[in-house]
Amino acid sequence: MDINSKYNTLGESRFVLSAALTTAVIAISFAAIFIRLSEAPALVIAFYRLLFTLAILFPHLSMQWKELRFLKTADFSGMLASGIFLAAHFYLWISSLDHSPVAVAVILVSMHPLLVAAAGHFVLGDAIPRRFFASMLLVLAGTAAIAAESASGFAEGSTELRGALMALGGAAMMAGYILVGRRLRQNLSTTVYVSGTYGVAALLLLLTTLIAGVSLTGYSSREYLLFAALAVVPTLLGHTVFNWALKKVRASLVSLLYLGEPLGATLLALIILREMPSTFQAFGGLTILIGLYLVIRSGHSSA
């Protein structure tokens, strides 16, 4: 290969990577919209989202028998823990959208970088840069602004506070999912890791649905199309593409791109659902996003 061909290949690779990451940001922004358009219970939405995703991944997983044969007990226990966190995250996050505006829910559930940084320090002994604490104050201030309005609405009979608390719980579960996944991804391929985790989460959601007496059948074809859309667009084209990109770009860049979801979802909610965030929600959300941006940046710089 001559020099010109080499540079052309590099240019094409960067173009493909940029296009893939741009697509992923747009794709994950549709998750909240599809969920709000669905009339099914949260447990049902979460289960079918994972079931359809697993069905699409299965042909690829069937080609990983060599890796599957040598999985260790620690790998299985790790995927079990990861699946528990993911199932809880999906249930809380999807449920929060029944009680809160899209802008509030997606911003609060996106606070997981803050929780990952804190847990990484106290559990794993990671160093926390000095700028982290200033970032944390911004995030807490933004959360307080959103919570103040939600609490006011709650006092008048609204359930927005419940939705905000569910979104925060979803963020905590996502933090656990990321922390467990960080260790597992050192030894497992993306396909094996996500298939195992999604499989555990789907099974837990299925059992919970059956115990709760929630029906998994009898929904309209429109609902099943929305379940499939959740699997294809935000899950495969969104989260799976980000997992793929982790081997090609810095983790800090992928983390920053995840912050595009609240902005994209808020814009889509405005266009499709006609949901306009209030002044307090907009101020709180912007403050949180700035704080999270600084948290992620400080996590990849020297203290």
**pLDDT (tens digit per residue) in 215-226:** 999 999 999 999
- 34 — pLDDT class (breaks 50, 70, 90): very high
Check pLDDT > 90 for residue 281.
no
Q: Enter the tokens of residue 126.
A: 């990671």
Contacts of 148 (CB under 8 A, 6+ apart): 280
d(CA 45, CA 217): 12
Amino acid at 277: P
Residue 220: per-residue pLDDT: 96
Residue 135: per-residue pLDDT: 72
d(CA 273, CA 32): 11
Nearest Cα to Cα of residue 37 among 161, 205, 222, 265? 222
DSSP letter (8 states) at residue 276: P
pLDDT greater at residue 244 or residue 120: 244
> Could you read off the pLDDT of 39-85 as tens digits, one per residue?
999 999 999 999 999 999 888 877 777 787 888 888 889 899 999 99
CA-to-CA separations, 190 to 62, 103, 198, 200, in angstroms, rounded: 13, 30, 12, 15
Nearest Cα to Cα of residue 60 among 240, 245, 260? 240
Residue 124: per-residue pLDDT: 63
Check pLDDT > 50 for residue 7.
no
Given phi > 0 = left and psi -120 to 50 = alpha, else beta, which region is 147? alpha
- 1 — pLDDT class (breaks 50, 70, 90): very low
Residue 154: per-residue pLDDT: 44
Range 208-217 average pLDDT: 95
